[in-house]
Amino acid sequence: MNTNKLNRRIILLLFCCMISFVSCRKFLDKKITNGITTPTQLSDLQALLDEALGLNESITPVYGEASSDDYFLNPDYKTVLDKNPLLKNVYIRRPYEYSFQNDWSKAYLEIYNANYCLDMIKAIPASTDNRNQWDNVYGSALFMRAYYFLLLTWEYAKAFDREASSRDLGIVLRLTSDFNVPSQRSSVKQCYDQIVNDVMESVGHLPDFPVHVYRPSKWAAYGLLARTYLSMRQYDSAYKYADECLKLRSDLMDFNGDKDVKPLGGKYPFSKFNKETIYYTGRSGWVVAALSAANYMFIDSGLVKSYEENDLRKTAFFSLVKGNYTFTGSYSQNATNFTGIATDEIFLIRAECAARLNNIKEALFDLNTLLASRYKSGSFLPLEILTKEGLIDRILLERRKELISRNLRWMDLKRLNKENKSIVLVRVYEGNTYTLQPNANYYALPLPTDIIKLAQIQQNDE
């Protein structure tokens, strides 16, 4: 397909996406008459998905991570925060008003692309000749829609709760590219049901492994299901799909020496698309990446101290700047930071769920397998934790240490507070102390103001 034509089509879809979820008809009255065509063939739809997947480099939501407890800002950054009310309020965890462009709009761009492909493929019969391509387009679109639904639900909705989630407000479940379908918020339960259904259906259409980790696969779908069920605290299902994921492939990098690991001590020692990467996405770069690149974002000192002397992750993940540590160990090899699915995360999901399900021996095996690849050769002594709670606590600590800056901490805080961990977040800024209590309303971040007004949907409680 002609590249220029595809680019023009992408531009049209980017424009359409901005308005699709608000059903704002005044935009639809304007005819676009510049000769732009729309993708209708399988090759076009695959090209559209691949282009959208390329956007995954820097599009996953960031506000939750920016509100988490893994970092603090250099006081020198005050002048910048004062000029950026959104960034300031995300940092001190206070409700704020903001409009396009933002986490919401960027994620719904990907959802629109997925919905467009799902709508268009209905008119293309699957046949013997096109079956593999048809399946890949259909399965990939379902996966992508679910992936961004999940990230938005983690950021803009309350934590899953069996008793309350049928009443709690979730996100807008856009299931079509038709602008005329009005937008409304679904319940948290409906959101998770849709996510699970989409991923489950995608499994039957995706290949075991992708041609490139920008593309979804069955391997990635199992990982996404494990993530989803973990955030719902449905540990039996999370264990099941983490296990299915690792049965397909369970490679880990050895930090002592591996073709995907450069000499430790420099910035970004890990190869992009390394052997642990199951599905690649990167964080929206304008907030956290900009701060870390400018050496204003420092890692929580207590977290840094939790790495033991022979733990190579401290050297691999952090750089010392002005007496504090910045995170420079992303699998992205740049400051946007990897937020996709990787085998180390899935090992930790399976370990945690095994422990919660009283499979202590198996949980220890997974945890020790991961840690043995992270410590200096010959220095790691396999853990022998006997109590269930002690093991769970250690796994959660290692999860925080291993998966730092991957857009998972905000979700973890929400689900762990539902497990009565009672984690209180504290920020000190300009001499004022800002405290966020467990299960506070702010854990469901405020929706964009323009969406509230245009779509006339309910804002989250302050």
User: How far is residue 385 from each of residues 91, 249, 381, 420, 427, measured CA to CA in Å?
Assistant: 37, 27, 12, 22, 34
In a domain, 253, yes or no: yes
Strands 169-172 and 297-299, bridge-based pairing: unpaired
Strands (E), 52-102: 71-73
Question: pLDDT exceeding 70 applies to what percent of the chain?
Answer: 89
For residue 72, the tally of other CB atoms under 10 A from its CB is 17
Answer yes or no: is 213 within a domain.
yes
What's the rounded mean pLDDT across residues 288-295? 58
In a domain, 248, yes or no: yes
CA atoms of 9 and 3, how far apart (whole Å) = 10
Q: Is residue 300 part of a domain?
A: no
Quick: pLDDT tens for 97-122: 999 989 999 999 999 999 999 999 99
User: What's the rounded mean pLDDT across residues 47-72?
Assistant: 87
Model confidence over 244-280: pLDDT tens digits?
999 999 999 999 999 999 999 889 999 999 999 999 9
- Domain presence at residue 326: no
Q: What is the pLDDT of residue 376?
A: 98
Number of structural domains (the chain) is 1
462 located within any domain: no
Q: Identify whether 133 is preceded by a cis peptide bond (ω within 30 of 0).
A: no
Is residue 292 situated within a structural domain?
no
Work out the pLDDT band at 291, boundaries 50, 70, 90.
low
Residue 382: alpha-carbon gap to chain centroid: 31
**Does residue 451 belong to any structural domain of this protein?**
yes
Tens-place pLDDT, residues 445-457: 999 999 999 999 9
Residue 192 has pLDDT above 90, yes or no: yes
Residue-range definition of the domain harbouring residue 112: 3-265+338-455
33 pLDDT tier (thresholds 50, 70, 90): very low
User: Which CATH number belongs to the domain containing residue 226 in this structure?
Assistant: 1.25.40.390
**pLDDT score, position 294:** 59
Give the C-alpha separation, 127 to 133, whole Å. Answer: 10
